[in-house]
Structure 1
Amino acid sequence: MAIDSDPTVRAQELGEALRVLREEANLSVRTAGARIDASASKISRLENGKNAVAIDDVAALLAVYQVTGPRRRKLLDLAHEAEQRGWWQRNTLTFAERQETLMSLESRALAITSFEPIVVPGLLQTGEYTRAIMVESGIVDDQDVENRMITRLQRHSVLLRRQPPGLLAIIDELALRRVIGGRDVLRRQLEHLVEMAQRPNIAIRIVLNADRGHPGIDGGFLVIRRPEGTPVVFLANLTSSLFLEETAEIAQYEQVTRELLNHALDPAESLRYLGEQARRLDTGVPYEDHPRAADLD
């Protein structure tokens, strides 16, 4: 059941959709509640995912907001599933729809931990780097590249607001050595990482390739810490997104995070590493001749 102390991702997603619909209808919380014989506090709690979801209430609100057809069916389906933990969003949803859930979680986050072994974390990508990933992958249609890039870049605004979440970005060195978009694009991306790391809410840690494995070898992930309830782990692949909410699963990813930090350069060393690699790309020094941790002092 979605309760105050631990709302589910589905309940919060439903609540956010209902809030948007109410605002589009130019109704206050009090007025919307009066229309379905409910208190303003009940509507507020429903919109925040903090109340057990009553299907009749959701159906009544959708009628008040004049929502019909597929959109109504989608939200009622979500209401029926609101108490379920864990959410596998498969390819029945578009890329933009899957990103909406992620962005909604990030917009409410207190802190975000990101681990990426393949590319620069999405929250820290430059526009040209993002575009190059999509174009060079060869699997995104040309007409969809710009739409996807805009959707992804909308995520960045959460880091620039007045009270942003903390971001810990742990990046495997191999992701930074993949020359996506060419040397100039990668150099500017590395310089952007250095610039973003100057912000008080952002820390970047680099895991060097020390000829050994590490606990993040199974793939990238996000751990999103919410002001209410347990953290949520986000995983993504080509056709689906997965939100994990079970305590035991979250604990495993938190353990992996601790182990990765044991392998990683400290924040100052990580910044020196990024700066050195950007300079090498700028001067044409072979990128393969990169320094080891001992050379960063």
Structure 2
Amino acid sequence: MDSRESNALSRELGDALRRARRGSEVRFGNLAEELGWSPGKISKLERGTRGTSLPDIARYVGRLHADQPTYDHIMTLAQELNTGHLVRPHEPAVPDDLRALLLHEQTARVIWSYELVFIPGLLQTMDYARAVMCATVGGHRAAERIARQDIFDKPRPPEGRFFLLESALNYVVGGPQVMYEQMLQLLFRGGVRLITFANLPVSLAAAFTFMTFADHAPVAYIESGSLSVFSDDAGTTARYRQACQDLDQVALSEEQSRSVFAEWADRYDRLREEQREAGGEAVA
């Protein structure tokens, strides 16, 4: 097949091929020679910008002497039909090891994130993440969520535009101490804006993430329980792009939002002091 515009599925397949090659003892040049392919063909295949036949994919993986789980995973991806909507299962509320999510976050130019109940994963403190996860898989997975935040330490990090419904501030996760530290994280992190209930339009009734990229079409990401959906369907992404514009119009400014975060930090600070004095749990 000729070069083509990549999609979420082809990029996930390309990422799996690249990781399998890098995890093997086969060098890039030797692989190209053994397959009789040009280096450009392999490079485009691993970037998801060209396709090839199922037998070619099997030959590629076979030359790497990949283990059976790796082979099965890659062949499953290679046989999956591209519908514009990529559905991936994961543990309830813990999508942090999904390769499709990590790949797109790591290559995004702008990440729009909108949450209703919880602080976005890319903004959570370790203690907040651990407390959220304890209800499902236990706090041992929190490090994976915090590791996702390393994308903002890259030389050319994505621009994060985070929007929170005010309910996320008064939903107590882990207790006043955890919430106090989380409010400070929001207070000193740029790009975070608050949406009040009074300004909430019907179009913003569900959480989502919308990512744009320098070299391919945008991707909308929606998480629901133990399933996540990545969509690069043009009609779908157009609707989420409009939703991002709605967010921008109704949200408080960053300065106004920081004032609210400071107020909540003070509130949780008082609650944690009351908790220490009483020797028990304080309730917001």
Q: CA deviation at 1:222?
A: 0.6
Mapped pair 1:79 → 2:78 = yes
CA gap 1:282/1:47 in 2 versus in 1, 3 angstroms = same
Q: CA RMSD in A?
A: 2.4
> Normalising by the residue count of structure 2, what TM-score does the alignment of the two structures yield?
0.88
Which residue number in structure 2 is paired with residue 109 of structure 1? 108
Aligned equivalents of 1:186, 1:53: Cα separation in 2: 50
Q: CA deviation at 1:207?
A: 0.3
Aligned equivalents of 1:174, 1:93: Cα separation in 2: 21
Instruction: In structure 2, list runs of 5 or more residues that go unmatched.
Output: 273-284
CA gap 1:117/1:3 in 2 versus in 1, 3 angstroms = farther
Which residue number in structure 1 is paired with residue 277 of structure 2? none
Which one-letter code corresponds to 2:170 in the other structure? R
Which residue number in structure 2 is paired with residue 129 of structure 1? 128
Which residue number in structure 1 is paired with residue 276 of structure 2? none
CA gap 1:244/1:181 in 2 versus in 1, 3 angstroms = same
Aligned equivalents of 1:17, 1:98: Cα separation in 2: 13
CA gap 1:97/1:131 in 2 versus in 1, 3 angstroms = closer
Q: 1:220 aligns with which of 207, 211, 233?
A: 207
| CA-to-aligned-CA distance 1:173-200 (integer Å, 9 cap, x gap) | 1111111111111110010122222xxx
CA gap 1:44/1:277 in 2 versus in 1, 3 angstroms = same
Aligned equivalents of 2:264, 2:19: Cα separation in 1: 44
Deviates more, 1:72-81 or 1:114-123: 72-81
Aligned equivalents of 1:20, 1:127: Cα separation in 2: 28
CA gap 1:44/1:225 in 2 versus in 1, 3 angstroms = same
Q: How many residues are treated as equivalent by the alignment?
A: 272
Aligned equivalents of 2:94, 2:57: Cα separation in 1: 26
> Normalising by the residue count of structure 1, what TM-score does the alignment of the two structures yield?
0.84
Aligned equivalents of 1:196, 1:90: Cα separation in 2: 31
CA gap 1:12/1:141 in 2 versus in 1, 3 angstroms = closer
Q: Contact conserved, 1:179 with 1:186, CA < 8 A, in 2?
A: yes
Give the SS at the match of 1:19.
Answer: helix
Mapped pair 1:20 → 2:19 = yes
Which one-letter code corresponds to 2:210 in the other structure? V
Aligned equivalents of 2:75, 2:171: Cα separation in 1: 44
Deviates more, 1:20-29 or 1:245-254: 20-29
